[in-house]
Structure 1
Amino acid sequence: MTSTTSSDAERIETIKAVIRESGDNWRRRHSILANQNFMGMTIFLGSIAGILLCGWAYLDGYLSAWLCIPLVAILTSFLHELEHDLIHWMYFKNNKKIHNLMLLGVWIFRPGTINPWIRRKLHFLHHKTSGTSQDLEERGIGNGHPYGFVRFWVMMDTFTGNLLRVWMFVPAGRRWHSAKRIIASNLPFGVITAIVWYSFLAIHLINGLLSLASWSVPSALLNYANAVTPLIVILIAPFYLRSFCLNFISSNMHYYGNVESVLTQTQVLNAKRFLPFQLFCFNFGSTHGIHHFVVGEPFYIRQLTAADAHKVMRENGVLFNDLGTFARANRYENVAPNRASATAA
């Protein structure tokens, strides 16, 4: 990235000051918000309790699979935001046992994600190199790649999608090295999740095709598919639903290329057309850009300060709903005079 100009530096400091003041005002009005450990643990336990309740209701026939899957996806979006805050040491920084237990918990209930301790390294690199080819975290979810089959697959499933990307685009001599790194970062839960998910889909697809000729797959395979169905409904299908929505939003609200400073690292995606995606990633497109300016604010505070933050971000040149990013493979362009915000769609 190029160096930040004095004008940009002033704009950035103005945005940071307003965001911090808004967050402090909320904490003064509601003192419980200042107790981050309490808030984090309450959200952690409440989300997991909600997932377990949905699982019990599904297994006992009180909740259909079609309701269980989106409800769990919404609950795990809280856990994703918690993981992000934990990566930045916002909860139980001085109690490593509880801190690491929470990291393990948010990983187990989102089983297709990479090892969170590995993700911490990638995420810190993301903040240092956002918008460049060195930003492995965002590149790994599709940011900067032109739209096509590979990008959609990466957004749907970062594990197998990135293995496909390596196979197609990495030189032969480096493929196995790159693939081993991807596999290692997804052990054990991500690899197991992919095996269960794709075997489940394959069995039902093949059985459906064979049924056209009045045949069926071996009973052992059907028994396996039936046995893993609860795991699919309660954890794995919600994971893929939530993950696609998050990756779609995140990879498009971050810019890739031509990024000069934190002002041009992200845009705000809060157009109404994105609401179905935002539902499953806790309004990420609207609020994550705030985090790039003030890293230490927990996610629940960002939701509360969004109105103030958006106003000052818009006034100081952060783009809003720049839908041209989809055609430009997320390259930043000054699409409005003096980097003023694009009109909300």
Structure 2
Amino acid sequence: MKTVGYAAHSPTSGLEPYEFSRRKLRGNDVAIEILYSGICHSDLHTVHGDWGEQPYPLIPGHEIIGKVIDVGPEVKKYKVGDSVGVGCMVDSCQTCDQCHNHEEQYCREGMTATYGSEDRITGEITQGGYSKHIVAREEFVLKISDKLDISKAAPILCAGITTYSPLKTWNVKKGTRVGVIGLGGLGHMAVKLASAMGAEVTVISRSTDKEKEAKAIGAKAILSSRDESALEAAASSFDLIIDTVPVKHDFDTYTPLLDIDGTHVIVGQVGEMDEPVTAPLIMGRRRIAGSLIGGIKETQEVLDFCAEHNIHPDCEVIKPEQINEAWDKLQKENPSHRYVIDMTNLKVS
């Protein structure tokens, strides 16, 4: 299938229109016309080579909402016209213990990422959602409820599942005391989801400038990480901290905020962190953990949860020709919303 997307041709180049072809449908494939594609901070890190050398040209994007335009003969769950989504992965071995446990993101053979990975059959490099079309294996396509606004739903497929999964893993429920470090694209979704689960949510930020914004989406309070007296008063006050900061930072500011058996979960920074002082961990049986997106079953669960509770990411919808401008803002600023690319008028020549 001939199509077009916005590709980077080097770690330092901007994104520009790029014509390419999607594979012919296999028996279990779903062909999708992409309507909206979210921009994730990890798109920047990947394309810029922060996490290793990449294959170029590379089309990023793993927050994809579209409609089915064709299906392979073995497809049973979807038909032409269905509203669907594709998230951060498009394949896995489907045979290992992790895949059988519905945690394909931890596939023993390695999941196939939506972009920048080798196709498990042909070895071709996968290309992402900053494009007009995508072809994906049926098992990795997700149903989109008609209760969701499709122009705002795309970030649920990354920002949503990335924060929902640790909230579920650590059994967040009514009365759980949750701290969310950072109120950006990931952080604001963590606040919305945890609040809908009944948690008492506090945003932890460098200042209290976003207090009104935090409370408007469900937080009970905001705590400044630079206010030593406020930090001392908040000691042992959280059961779980979701850390969405995407750059190197220290643990020691936050560890004393955890209660006994509390957990600090990293979902933002992929790379080096400052070494923690272990005494607060040992003295409170506290722990530092990490979490990577979620499996397909859990991703469908968060989509349905958001539909049930009328939760949408805060989004700014842009045109494809504004992608580079949005990337620039994402690098220089700390927006508390997600950029979503409107692909509806992108034409294939």
TM (normalized to structure 1)?
0.24
**As a proportion of its length, which structure holds more strand?**
2
Of the two, which has the highest radius of gyration? 1
TM (normalized to structure 2)?
0.24
**As a proportion of its length, which structure holds more helix?**
1
